[in-house]
A and B are shown apart, each in its own frame.
Chain A
Amino acid sequence: MADGKLFGTDYIPADLVAKVTGRAKYAEDFRADGMLFTKLLLSPMPHARVRSIDDREALAMEGVMGIITADDLPETDNLVGSDRALTMEPMYQGEPILAVAAVDEETAAAAIEKIKVDYEPLPFVIDPLDSLRPGGPNARVGGNTIVDRKEVVEIKWTAQDFEEAGDSMPMGEAEVEWEVGDVAKGLEEAHLVLDETLYHQSQTHHPLETRSCMAYWQNDKLTIHVSTQSTQRTAGAVARGVGIDPTQVVVIAEYCGGGFGSKIGGTVNMPIAALLSKKTGRPVMHRVSREEENAYGRARPGFQGRVKLGFRADGRITAIDLYLIQDNGGYGRSGDFTSASRCASLNYTPLNMRFRGISILTNTPTRAAQRAPGGVQITAMLEPVIDMAAKKLGLDQIEIRKINAPDNDTTYGSNEHHVTSAYVREALDKAAEVSNWAELKAQSGQTNGSKVTGIGIALSSYVAGSRGFDGLMVIRPDGKLYVHQGIGNLGTHSVFGTARVASDHLGVSWENTEVVWGNTSRHLPHSAVQAGSQTTHAHTRANLAAAIDMEKKLKEVAARTLGGSADSYVVAGERVYRRGNRGSGLSFAQAAEKAIELGGTFDGHEAPEDINDWTKGAVAGLAGQGLVGVAKDNYGGEGDLWSFVVGVAKVEVDRETGAVEIQHYTAVADTGAVMNPRGLAAQIHGGGVQGFGLARSQKWVYDPKWGVPFTQRLYTAKPPSILDVPLDMRAGTVDLPDPQNPVGAKGIGEAPFGAGVAAVLCAIQDAIGEFDLKRSPMTTDLILNQLEGVPQPITVLATDV
């Protein structure tokens, strides 16, 4: 744990004023001389082949400057696994076919209407189970699943598979299968076995900022304003999409209005503005509308699932036998279902576990990571089942989770990995304390007129860090510390928080620390993608490593300037001086000037061997500008990094209307040492609120006959509103450092989401009894149907409703 003054304290992030005053410029706020606008023609069909395009009338229009289609995209060797900016075989309704550049959007839109595209409709499917039925339709020509991101293969289950299942989920041939221990034996030895069919809906990400881009070229250099979670790592994605070298790309993205995993390395549409700009010779703006965002933005894959859970009388889980069918969308296989199996394994540490899974292609938008991919789904699916078991076994909801909770010695998953730390029991205790669980528990089942109270607690986990990236910083002759960050400013503020580790180490005040971010022309180091909750862990370490390099160089510069050995100097108070004699030393400004005189490694004319080539380029760019600290995170470590969040919810369900009011929510995190308390609370509350939406209102609806979505607008998709958030929101943390990070921090982006969904679902179930449909979202109509004995209009496995 760092002993600095900044780490672990609240602060005002450098971008805050710009954001709250509206001065922050997002991608679509930029303008350039002669800038054109583009509009896209989207596929109206869920699956089709474009036979021909007649764009003559559009091109003849005044103000129309150019059109690109998939034929204008660079060659790629992977036409199967990943979607591209434009296509001639759309895999879902809304996939872009072509783009028109015109002097304004009105002209571009009018031009789109003049284009005739001749489509050959192809068979389509939106429900994976329909595709698995004998003779069922395939989402792609040639099959319904993709192997190794390159080959489309057909898998059909047998009629017998379906018959045997009855109302439960059928379980035919799996694509992925692993077993640890002996599940059959575990179930046999169990005191209680539950066999449940479950469903979790696919969900769009709904970032507030759509994935707009603006691009222009200066000679062979492409400058592109994008909406991305990562900065440095986005350059490579742009380069691949456009067919140029990453060194030819300048990515500018100082702010990101939400990504949630849908903009990790930028977005699929980035090449459109870039290529149209190349073709027309003018800057091109691509403002993405909400409907388009919901088409070629990304989505979380839904799961149809079946689980057999065995419990001992004391609640210990003897076996989990889990089968998941993943609704994959039309392109490369999502990792969600396998991540889900790891989360299940880690959260409940079953004595025996088997996982089987299959990922089936559907003609729905491309799937991608969404905040705790796989973790959210499995948490939402299994936590209410754990509560049912607790009820049947007469156990407290916390006790049953504690007896199964992972700790620092736990191994999990198919290859029985270790975790670096897991303080789940501590988190459960803390959650009980913060939420006043005993008092909540007493309110469970209490009625107030037509309303009944329910309480729920849920455990959610997700990966929380990676290793081995580079840190880069400069002390310039102005005496300030410039921390260069290749990670993005996603809104989590880790781009600032992780810089404070360097300030702490070097004793630099926050006022004299400048964070350099958001523009790859500003010499950014090779960094983690701003995803998977990696950055807090990865870049506290990388920046600490670079700060240590900086400290060493400060001392050497002082020794070379003032004599004596480097060891005899100390760095403190923004000076480097002889131990015990503050007067004999250099200010940072003086040290920077000396470093420039000394050259070599001191001012970046030479760089360490082990850093990434990209970072070497950044160092070279900074050469001669000051004292350069640069290093790779070589701390190493073993085991996987995971964070945990316990969510506690109290709801009131109105038995006459099915309406649910969330009245209380507590989230407690095990996320190592706390770097930014206010930011942490915002993260775990924000993730929780996102979870309320998945639990209650957020919809993903397709018409099954036409394969066309209805929830492309925020008012039909219904993510939660501020009025759905309780006033009583509490946050806590166990604040125990992770032993493998010198500053003790782990990431926390992912895990809060699942806790929010599952705690609310558990609370609703506590109020109304075991769900007759074990699925999410648990909307007002489904709740009322259950309470009133109205037959449910859908089956538990129904997708896209």
Chain B
Amino acid sequence: MSIFQWAQNPWGQEILIRISWDLLYLAIAGGLAFVIGHLVYRAKNPPKTAEVPDIGDAGKDIPEKIVRHSLAARLFHWVMAITMITLLVTAFFPILGIQFNWVPIHWMAGIVLTAAIIFHIIHASFWLNLRNIWISRQDWAEWKQEMEHALGKGEPPPKTDKYPVDHRIYHNAILVTGFGVIVTGLLMMVRVENLIFARNSYLLAESTWGWVYVIHGLSAVGLVGLIITHIYFAILPEKRWITKSMIWGWITKKDYLANHDPERWVVTDKASK
């Protein structure tokens, strides 16, 4: 088990060329271990159906279908999902021994993903509330409470804002690893033949390239772990209302009231449009 792959450059110097693919197996194993661990935990502590509080008149302004993800956001999510899966398959299947012409698909998917992310950044900056993904001090405290509660200690955490804290943490992890692969991936395009950049493998210094490949690799194997857990939660029955919202865009008033604090995620007819 090693973290990095080294090679001897033409001058006999040891150079960093990429992460060790041991880390890929580690990421897969880590992702699967989390899933198994969670399944075991879940079997011992079956999820309770969230109670829908009666808030009386306060709920009369709340529509039956509450928009959780706009069409633009959903399109972005699914484009990202498809390209991300494409990128991971094209990147890692050859390493796992399944050989095919992966490079053009990989960079093209990377370009689509980049474009999608640029769209998302613009869209999120101007049309969405950036605070939705910000992790505040209170969020951390609630996350701690949630974790302790999960381990059988203390009170359950309060109901959440539009995005629960674990979603926010996940989004930020995706943000970091996503930026990691995108920025390095764009640079790496000059190392291969493509239709966009002229090839120049000497654009950066040899050691810089080493780090570019390492960051790309670390981000990518990180994404493997993240995506395994993401898909796992997406298919859990108790989370399906969220998964459905990523398809149809809305959640039911019931799910809303059961999982969110109307004080914190204020939904009015106007806001939900």
Contact = CB atoms under 8 A, between A and B. Distances in A.
Contact of B12 (A44, A703, A705): A44
B11 A44 contact: yes
Contacts of A119: 11
A45 B12 CA distance: 8
B202 A705 contact: yes
B10 interface: yes
B11 A706 contact: yes
A706 B202 CA distance: 11
Interface string B32-76: 000000000000000000000000000000000000000000000
A563 interface: no
A45 B11 contact: yes
A44 B14 CA distance: 12
Interface string B1-25: 0000000001110000000000000
Contacts of A708: 10-11
Contacts of B12: 44-45
B202 A121 contact: no
Nearest to A117: B12
Contacts, number: 13
Nearest to A706: B10
Nearest to B10: A706
Interface residues of B, number: 4
Question: Binding site of B, secondary structure by majority: helix, strand, loop or mixed?
Answer: loop
- How many chain A residues sit at the interface, stated as a range, is under 10
Interface string B223-252: 000000000000000000000000000000
Interface in B84-134: none
Nearest to B201: A705
Most buried by B among A44, A121, A706: A44
Contacts of A121: 11
Contacts of B202: 705
B160 to A, nearest CB: 56
Contacts of B11: 44-45, 119, 121, 706, 708
Contacts of A706: 10-11
A259 B267 CA distance: 93
A121 B10 CA distance: 13
A44 B12 CA distance: 6
A706 B15 CA distance: 15
A578 B11 CA distance: 77
Interface in A535-578: none
Nearest to A703: B10
Contacts of B10: 44, 703, 706, 708
A525 B187 CA distance: 70
A121 B207 CA distance: 15
Interface in A121-169: 121
A283 B232 CA distance: 72
A708 B10 CA distance: 8
Interface string A37-79: 0000000110000000000000000000000000000000000
Interface in A695-718: 703, 705-706, 708
B207 to A, nearest CB: 13
A44 B202 CA distance: 20
A758 B11 CA distance: 38
A705 B11 CA distance: 11
Contacts of A45: 11-12
Contacts of A703: 10
A530 to B, nearest CB: 38
Most buried by A among B11, B12, B202: B11
A137 to B, nearest CB: 16
A608 to B, nearest CB: 58
A725 to B, nearest CB: 36
A152 B10 CA distance: 28
B237 to A, nearest CB: 59
B193 to A, nearest CB: 19
Nearest to A705: B202
Interface string A672-716: 000000000000000000000000000000010110100000000
A716 to B, nearest CB: 16
Nearest to A121: B11
A218 B247 CA distance: 92
B199 to A, nearest CB: 14
A115 to B, nearest CB: 11
Contacts of A44: 10-12
A44 B11 CA distance: 5
Contacts of A705: 202
Nearest to A708: B10
Nearest to A46: B11
Interface string A446-463: 000000000000000000
B243 to A, nearest CB: 52
A582 B231 CA distance: 119
A589 to B, nearest CB: 66
A728 B10 CA distance: 45
A705 B10 CA distance: 10
B202 to A, nearest CB: 6
A786 to B, nearest CB: 27
Nearest to A93: B11
Nearest to A48: B11
A318 to B, nearest CB: 49
Interface in B195-228: 202
Nearest to B202: A705
A356 to B, nearest CB: 36
A366 to B, nearest CB: 20
A119 B8 CA distance: 14
B14 to A, nearest CB: 11
Nearest to A44: B12
A321 B202 CA distance: 41
Interface in A170-187: none
Nearest to A45: B11
A706 B11 CA distance: 8
B151 to A, nearest CB: 51
A119 B12 CA distance: 10
A363 to B, nearest CB: 12
A110 B30 CA distance: 41
Interface string A102-123: 0000000000000000010100
A121 B9 CA distance: 13
Nearest to B12: A44
B158 to A, nearest CB: 61
B7 to A, nearest CB: 14
B191 to A, nearest CB: 15
A215 B11 CA distance: 32
A46 to B, nearest CB: 9
Nearest to B9: A706
A119 B9 CA distance: 14
A703 B202 CA distance: 13
A702 to B, nearest CB: 11
A619 B199 CA distance: 72
A179 B272 CA distance: 94
A635 B12 CA distance: 58
Nearest to B8: A44
B69 to A, nearest CB: 50
A705 B205 CA distance: 12
Interface string B175-205: 0000000000000000000000000001000
A468 to B, nearest CB: 49
A53 to B, nearest CB: 14
A635 B10 CA distance: 57
A705 B202 CA distance: 9
A44 B10 CA distance: 7
Interface of A: 44-45, 119, 121, 703, 705-706, 708
13 contacts: A44-B10, A44-B11, A44-B12, A45-B11, A45-B12, A119-B11, A121-B11, A703-B10, A705-B202, A706-B10, A706-B11, A708-B10, A708-B11
A-B pairs, top 9 by smallest CB distance, nearest first, are: A44-B12, A706-B10, A45-B11, A44-B11, A708-B10, A705-B202, A706-B11, A121-B11, A44-B10
Given A45-B11, A708-B10, 11 more contacts: A44-B10, A44-B11, A44-B12, A45-B12, A119-B11, A121-B11, A703-B10, A705-B202, A706-B10, A706-B11, A708-B11
